[in-house]
Amino acid sequence: MPELPEVESIAQRLCEGTETIPLPGRKIKHVSLYWPRHIVQPSVSTFRRRMKDRVIRDVRRRGKFLVFPLDEGNLLIHLRMSGDLTICPAKKPRGSYEHTIFHLDEPWQLRFSDARKFGLIYYLKDPGRVLNRLGPEPLDPAFTAHLLAERLKKHQRMLKPLLLDQRFLAGLGNIYTDEALHYAGLHPRIRSDSLSQDQVEKLWHGIQTTLREGLRQNGASIDWVYRGGSFQNQFRVYQRTGEPCPICSTPIERIIVGQRGTHICPHCQPEITK
């Protein structure tokens, strides 16, 4: 589920606490771990001890990570494929996917639900140890088309797997990559170092446009995992196999690129560039 727009929407929801309580200012009394393998660092017992009585200062996002600066250290959560975070009353029965529960100082809890159990939780003094490996934020003003061009030239890789590589750019996932490439009229297998200036500009605009539109719609809701977003109604190619391309009406095709299901318009995104 969660790519940049979905993670950002979740961060905002937790920060504002509409209909629940804002997370900043709350104290974590203790945690319940029903799937301890979620805890990457430190050890489970240390994590438990360190979380006790920490005060949550803020809720932020970096790439696809949720970052919670605490009065002491930082909590990092990566939702991976099926994670979601909600604030709910302590008395609400625990759902079968709610594997990690943070008990707060009010009759509320922060619950990490994760059907596929791929999620990751860190408690770190220095979050940079994890976050510094990430590439630039695509919506940061510092991320210009010029910078994108420079970075693309440093590799000779297929466009799509490169865009999905979080060290190259932080926040894109399968949905927004397919959408951005269609917007730019670029085939996902084109080599990153073979783009013209014009093509780089289109790709940059495609990334900006799809992410901003995703944010405006609070992300995309798919399947049973995450709801709340409506960007799925705007998909041009993602999961639209067989439907007409909104630009030229050619049926959308599904192919595999870098072991990921990939959706393209074979007419708007020719494999051979001119």
Do the Cβ atoms of 184 and 172 come closer than 8 Å?
no
Q: What angle do CA 161, 247, 160 make, to 5 degrees?
A: 0
CA 75 vs. chain centroid, Å, equals 17
Active site residue 251: no
d(CA 23, CA 222): 26
One residue of 258, 266, 267, 270 binding DNA per CB under 7 A: 258
- Asked if residue 2 binds DNA (CB under 7 A), the reply is yes
Number of residues that bind DNA (CB under 7 A): 42
- Catalytic, 92? Answer no
**Given 2, 5, 127, 138, which residue is catalytic?**
2
The least distance separating DNA from the CB of residue 157, rounded to whole angstroms, comes to 3
Q: Decide if residue 1 touches DNA (CB under 7 A).
A: yes
Contact 58, 68 (CB under 8 A): yes
Active site residue 201: no
Binder to DNA among 164, 200, 237, 268 (CB under 7 A)? 164
Q: Which stretch binds DNA (CB under 7 A): 23-31, 47-55, 162-170, 199-207?
A: 162-170
Q: Is 128 in the site for DNA (CB under 7 A)?
A: no
| Contact status: 78 vs DNA (CB under 7 A) | yes
- Interaction residues for DNA, span 44-73 (CB under 7 A): 63-64
Q: Applying CB under 7 A, which of residues 91, 198, 242, 259 lies at the interface with DNA? A: 259
CB atoms within 10 A of CB 34: 13
Q: Does 233 sit near DNA (CB under 7 A)?
A: no
For DNA, the closer of residues 32 and 174 by Cβ is 174
Smallest gap from Cβ 174 to DNA, in A, equals 3
CB closer to DNA, 40 vs 145: 40
Beta pairing class for 74-78 and 65-69: antiparallel
Instruction: Return the structure tokens found at 95.
Output: 């759902």
Long-range contacts of 190-196 (CB under 8 A, 24+ apart): 190/158, 190/159, 190/271, 190/273, 191/156, 191/157, 191/158, 191/159, 192/152, 192/153, 192/155, 192/156, 192/157, 192/158, 192/159, 192/162, 193/152, 193/153, 193/154, 193/155, 193/156, 194/273, 195/149, 195/152
64 among known catalytic residues: yes
Q: Could you say whether residue 33 binds DNA (CB under 7 A)?
A: no
Our measurement of the distance from residue 125's CA atom to the centroid of its chain's CA atoms, rounded to an integer in Å, reads: 23
Of the candidate residues 25, 30, 37, 105, the single one contacting DNA (CB under 7 A): 37
Q: Which of 254, 260, 266, 270 is catalytic?
A: 260
Q: How far apart are CA 119 and CA 37, in angstroms?
A: 9
Concatenated DSSP letters for 50-65? HHTTEEB---EEETTE
For 209, the enclosing helix (H) or strand (E) is: helix 197-216
- Asked whether position 98 contacts DNA by CB under 7 A, the answer is no
Q: Which of 30, 92, 116, 212 binds DNA (CB under 7 A)?
A: 116
Positions touching DNA (CB under 7 A) are: 1-3, 6, 37, 63-64, 78, 80-82, 96-97, 115-118, 155-158, 161-162, 164, 166, 173-175, 191, 220-226, 232, 254, 258-261
> What are the residue numbers of the active site?
2-3, 64, 260
